[in-house]
Amino acid sequence: MDKNYTEQEMRETLGKKYEPSEIVNQRLQDVYQQIGAGGKSVNNKAGRKKSGSRFSVIKKGLTVTAAVLAGGVLLCASNPALAAKIPIIGAIFDRVEQDVTFSGEYSKKDNVLTAEDESTGMPVNTQYSVEDNGVTMTASEIYSDGYSIYLTLDVQSESGGFDKMPSHYTADDQNTAQTLYIQGVWLVNSNGAGIPFVNNLIEGKVVSDTEFIGMMKLDLPDDGRITEDTLSLQMTQIGFDNKEFTPEMLENEGVTNTILGTWNIDIPVQADETDIKVIDVNEKNEMGFSIDQVIVTPYQVKVLTTVPYTTRDDSEITKEEFEELWGEKNKEIQAQGESEVLYDDYLMDKIYEEFGVSVFTQDGKRLMPISQSEKSATFAVQNNDISQLQVYIGKDGIDTMKEKDMGKMKEKAILGVTVEVQ
């Protein structure tokens, strides 16, 4: 079983002090309601559902705050008249690259997919632009380090409402961004299988009430790597929060801003292998924890790990006990079209030991933790110059990610290595 940390745990990890609005607090627990594929725009009460499952979007280490700070100024908003005079499509990285969680100078490395016609404001190359249900999505620029794909998008909606989008902190209580949620699937042709947009979002900023620009980061599954491929986006829903909604309003009104549609875009991807360092470590302790490899790119650090695990045996739970516990549940699972949980599979389920990974630079600065499973942990570089890394594994996952002092982390660690990067 993967140990994936929740947004609440990431809040504790980052040690932020903030006063989010009621709506943001509500969204951290219950982002927005899952809407079936049968509808279209659901911006009115009749089109909303008041109950049912919600699809959670883990905002990958983001600490959220209200869009209105002291004085009531909406962050990241710009003058629409001014924005109309400055080409945006083809230059989105320039505008958002320092505000997103995985910040950095993408505009020096990106591949522009299409520019903007200054006379019409429309994309020159319409191959990467698609419209449905009043929403036009245009893929603007792309970069890949081989392990992840970083794509900028321009989203224009006839129904508007973007001005009410709240902001969140992306680094050290300084930089802020706004968020557009995505549903659907994406894939790279070499992988073949569609990957749900469960944990993916577009981070960026509001240009006007009807236009949003931002960057999406897509991680290759199973820590895979590509060199040249085709990215296929198959988006079926967009949504965003409303800073003016209280939890009570959410309960009564349901989803704040959600639009259903079909936005499919195929985009060529060419990995930029410059400034990518793959360092084999293969350091293992007597407990079975291992730091296998460290990957350093301009925008992220990935630590590949091996973690000890146990499995159940028939002395813990007999087949009869399993049937009693899982009989009704399996009927529910099968009724939803899913495969039932089998007894033998249950016994062989891997139960991983708890742990956490923490990474510090040569200056003792902790890199921002973003995600972790038993196979790998990902950290945002955020413009830090890296010549050496100190990588630690701690037995207490939350405590490890919360610890910002390298000396204290070294004392707590059950495994630590020094990795020379340059």
Q: Say yes or no: 337 and 364 in one domain.
A: no
Report pLDDT digits (tens) over 36-58: 333 333 333 233 333 333 333 33
Number of domains composing the chain: 3
* pLDDT confidence tier of residue 61, bands split at 50, 70 and 90: very low
The contacts of residue 327 (CB under 8 Å, 6+ apart) are: none
Residue 191's pLDDT is 76
The verdict on residue 385 lying in a domain is yes
Structure tokens at 410: 């070294």
Q: Say yes or no: 337 and 395 in one domain.
A: no
Structure tokens at 69: 């700070």
The verdict on residue 82 lying in a domain is no
Structure tokens at 281: 């470590």
The verdict on residue 203 lying in a domain is yes
Section 125-146 average pLDDT: 95
Q: Describe the crossing of helices 22-29 and 7-14 by its angle, rounded to 10 degrees.
A: 120
* pLDDT confidence tier of residue 186, bands split at 50, 70 and 90: very high
The verdict on residue 135 lying in a domain is yes
The verdict on residue 211 lying in a domain is yes
How large a percentage of the chain has pLDDT more than 70? 77
Report pLDDT digits (tens) over 253-282: 545 689 999 999 999 999 999 999 999 999
Q: Say yes or no: 105 and 221 in one domain.
A: yes
Query: Can you give the pTM of this predicted structure?
Result: 0.78
Q: Contact at 8 Å (CB) between 141 and 106?
A: yes
Section 303-315 average pLDDT: 90
Report pLDDT digits (tens) over 80-122: 444 445 689 999 999 999 999 999 999 988 899 988 877 777 7
Q: Say yes or no: 319 and 374 in one domain.
A: no
- Round to whole Å and give the CA distance between 94 and 88: 9
Q: Say yes or no: 264 and 291 in one domain.
A: no
Classify residue 126 by its DSSP letter.
G
CATH of the domain at 415: 2.60.40
Residue 78's pLDDT is 41
Q: What angle do CA 322, 323, 327 make, to 5 degrees?
A: 125
By CB atoms closer than 10 A (0-12, 13-18, 19+), residue 90 is: buried
- Round to whole Å and give the CA distance between 390 and 373: 19
What amino acid occupies position 26? Q
Compute and round to an integer the Cα radius of gyration of the chain: 22
The verdict on residue 76 lying in a domain is no
What is the span of the domain harbouring residue 339? 314-349
Answer with the one of 296, 326, 349 that is the final residue of a domain: 349
- Round to whole Å and give the CA distance between 157 and 136: 7
- Round to whole Å and give the CA distance between 353 and 83: 51
* pLDDT confidence tier of residue 251, bands split at 50, 70 and 90: low
Residue 50's pLDDT is 30
